[in-house]
Amino acid sequence: MAPHAEGLNGQTNGFSTTPGEHKDMFTVDSPNVTYTENEIKSKYSYYTTSVTDSGDGKYVAKPKETVYDFKVDRKVGKVGMMLVGWGGNNGTTVTAGIIANRRGLVWDTREGPRAANYYGSVVMASTMKLGTEAKTGKEINVPFHNVLPMVHPNDLVIGGWDISGMNLAQAMDRAAVLEPTLKDMVKKEMAEMKPLPSIYYPDFIAANQEDRADNILEGSKASMAHVEKLREDIQDFKATHGLDKVIVQWTANTERYADLVPGVNDTADNLMKAIESGHEEVSPSTVFAVACILENAPFINGSPQNTFVPGAIELAEKHGAFVGGDDFKSGQTKMKSALADFMINAGLKLTSIASYNHLGNNDGKNLSSQKQFRSKEISKSNVVDDMVETNSVLYKPGEHPDHTVVIKYMPAVGDNKRALDEYYAEIFMGGHQTISLFNVCEDSLLASPLIIDLVIIAEMMTRISWKAQSSDGAATKDYKGFHSVLSILSYMLKAPLTPPGTPVVNALAKQRAALTNIFRACVGLQPESDMTLEHKLF
C-alpha cells in the first residue's frame, strides 16, 4: 500500500482540516465575540493614527478608534471554481493538483515517491500566530485555513471555458508540466472534463494563438449574446452540480490593453451599450467580467490586461458584486516585492532593477507579441512604486530606481521560466551593493496554489459583512459586504486592483499582514504586532 499523502508530507500536527466541513481549531473567549450555529459576530476596535500638518513643518499624530461589528456566515456551502483558459498550463495543473490532493495520491519520481500537497498556498500551507501559551508563553501558531470557516480546495467543483477544445487530459499532456506517473493517475478523470466553448476576439491575443482556437462560442460580438451565454453557462454549472456559489477566474492568455474611450467603457451604462454594439475595444475578459458581475459570481483576473475598465468597476459597485486582479504574482515579481521592501526599509537606496526572464510555455509564446508583452511589462514594472514613495529620506519626490523588464520566448525551457534579476543599490559612504538572482520558477506549479488561494479567499469574502460604530457616532445601520473591489487579494497579484481613489500596496509583508489581520478581526483578535513585550518587560 503506497504511503498515504499526509505521512509523506510530514504533516505531524494533525491540524490539517479534513475537507467537507470546517472544524473550529480554536474559539475566542471574549465578551466581544459571540458564536452561534450559523454565525460568528465580533465587535472590533480598529486603531489608527490620524495625522495633521500643524503648518510649521511638524505633524500632530492623534490616535483614533473606530468600532466595527463583523459577522461571518459559518456555513461554507458547495462551491464551484470556473476557469477561463481551463485548458491552459495553469488550468490543467491546478485541476490535476486538486484531484491528486482529494485522492491523497502518491506517485513515483526519479527522486523517489512524492505526495500531493498544497505547498505555495498561503491558506493551505502557511500558519498565523494565534497567541502565546498562557502558562509557558510559548508561541502558538495555527494553520491559516483554520482561522475562519473556509472552503477546502478538495471540495471545489471545477469547470470552465477554453477556445481550445482539448479535454483536460490531452491539455495536461500539451502543458508538459506534471510527471507522467502523476498524469497517469489522474488522466481518466481529466479526460471526462471538456472546456465550454469560449469567446474569441483575435485582436486581443497574439496571432500565434489562432491554431488553438477550435472551440469558439457562436454568435455575434455585436449583441449581448455572449454575455447571456456565459451567464447561462454559470447558471447551468451551478444547477448541474447543486452549487451554492461559483467563483470565476481568468487564467486565459494575456490580452492587449483596451483603450479607455469616453462614451465606450467609462461608465457601466456605456460599457453595456458598447458590448451591445460590439465595440472593438471590448475585450473577451471584460465580457466575462460583465457576465460574472450580473450573475453575482466573484470574478478574478489572473492576467495583466486592464479587464476592469472603469465601466466594469462601476457595474460591479452597482450590483455589489466582487471583482479582483490583476496578474498572478508567482515568482520573479513576488521575490521583487519582498526584496525591494527589505532593501528600502533597511535604508539601502535601490537605484536599479533589471528583470529579465525567458520561458517556453504557451504564455511565453503569446507574450512574444509586443501588444501582449506590453500588458505584462506594465504589471511587472509598477511593483516597487509604493515602497519607494514611502521613503523620502532615500528618494526625492518623483525619484525612483531604473527598472527594466524583458521577457523572451525560448521554447526549450517550457514551463520552467528563468528569471534573472540584478538589484543595484547605493550603500554607506558611496559604496554599492549588487544582488544577482537566478530564479527558476516552474510557472504553473507556482501559479496553481495562487489560483486556489484566490478562490478560497474570494469565497470567504462573500460570507463576511460589517457595520461601523464610528468614533464620532456616525454608525452604519445595517451589515454590508466589503467594497466590490477585493484589494484583500493583493498578496496573490502583481498589479493589485483597489477601490477607486485608494492606495495600491505592493509590499509583500504588508499585503500578507492585511489579509491575516482582517481575518483575525473577524474573530475579534487584534493584529499581531510582534512587539512581544511579554518577553521584554519583566
Ligand X SMILES: O=P([O-])([O-])O[C@@H]1[C@@H](O)[C@H](O)[C@@H](O)[C@H](O)[C@@H]1O
Ligand Y SMILES: NC(=O)c1ccc[n+]([C@@H]2O[C@H](COP(=O)([O-])OP(=O)(O)OC[C@H]3O[C@@H](n4cnc5c(N)ncnc54)[C@H](O)[C@@H]3O)[C@@H](O)[C@H]2O)c1
Q: CB under 5 to 8 A by kind: which of ligand Y, ligand X, none does 360 bind? A: none
Region 331-390 residues binding ligand X, contact defined as CB under 6 A: 331-333, 357, 359, 363-364, 367, 376, 380
- C-alpha grid cell, residue 46: 480598529
Which residue's CB is nearer to ligand Y, number 221 or number 319? 221
Under DSSP, is residue 354 helix (H, G, I), strand (E, B) or coil? strand
Chosen residue from 329, 349, 403, 463 binding ligand X by CB under 6 A: 329
Which stretches of 12-109 are DSSP H helices?
A: 89-102
Shortest reach from residue 199's CB to ligand Y, in Å: 6
Which residue's CB is nearer to ligand Y, number 330 or number 490? 330
Region 437-456 residues binding ligand X, contact defined as CB under 6 A: 441, 443
Using CB atoms within 10 Å of the CB of residue 9, give its burial: 0 to 12 exposed, 13 to 18 middle, 19+ buried.
middle
Q: How many residues does the chain have?
A: 538
Shortest reach from residue 183's CB to ligand Y, in Å: 16
Please, which residues bridge with residue 465 across strands?
71
Which residue's CB is nearer to ligand X, number 271 or number 383? 383
Which helix (H) or strand (E) segment holds residue 284: the answer is: helix 284-294
Which residue's CB is nearer to ligand X, number 316 or number 419? 419
Distance CA(249)–CA(101), nearest Å, equals 21
Shortest reach from residue 399's CB to ligand X, in Å: 24
Instruction: Report yes or no: 450 and 428 within 8 Å, Cβ to Cβ.
Output: no
Shortest reach from residue 384's CB to ligand X, in Å: 12
Instruction: Report yes or no: 304 and 327 within 8 Å, Cβ to Cβ.
Output: yes
Which chain residues interact with ligand Y by CB under 6 A?
84-85, 87-90, 161-164, 198-200, 205, 212, 251-254, 284, 302-303, 327-328, 330, 361-363, 366, 443-444, 446-447
- C-alpha grid cell, residue 42: 465580533
CA atoms within 13 A on the CB side of 378: 17
Q: Residue of minimal CB distance from ligand Y? A: 88
Shortest reach from residue 164's CB to ligand Y, in Å: 4
Specify the stretch interacting with ligand X by CB under 6 A; choose among 105-113, 326-334, 462-470, 530-538. Answer: 326-334
Which residue's CB is nearer to ligand X, number 194 or number 417? 417
Distance CA(362)–CA(364), nearest Å, equals 5
Q: CB under 5 to 8 A by kind: which of ligand X, ligand Y, none does 359 bind? A: ligand X
Which distant-in-sequence residues (6+ apart) come within 8 Å of 501 by Cβ?
none
Shortest reach from residue 350's CB to ligand X, in Å: 17
Which residue's CB is nearer to ligand Y, number 42 or number 330? 330
Instruction: Report yes or no: 257 and 372 within 8 Å, Cβ to Cβ.
Output: no
The answer to whether residue 418 forms part of the interface with ligand X (CB under 6 A) is: no
From the CB of residue 61, how many other CB atoms can be counted at a distance below 10 Å? Answer: 9
**N- to C-terminal Cα separation, the chain:** 54
From the CB of residue 135, how many other CB atoms can be counted at a distance below 10 Å? Answer: 6
Specify the stretch interacting with ligand X by CB under 6 A; choose among 73-81, 239-247, 257-265, 327-335. Answer: 327-335
Active site residues: 327, 376, 417, 494
Buried b (16+ CB within 10 A) or exposed e, 316-326: bbeeebbbbbb
Q: Which residues bind ligand X (CB under 6 A)?
A: 329-333, 357, 359, 363-364, 367, 376, 380, 407, 417, 419, 441, 443, 494
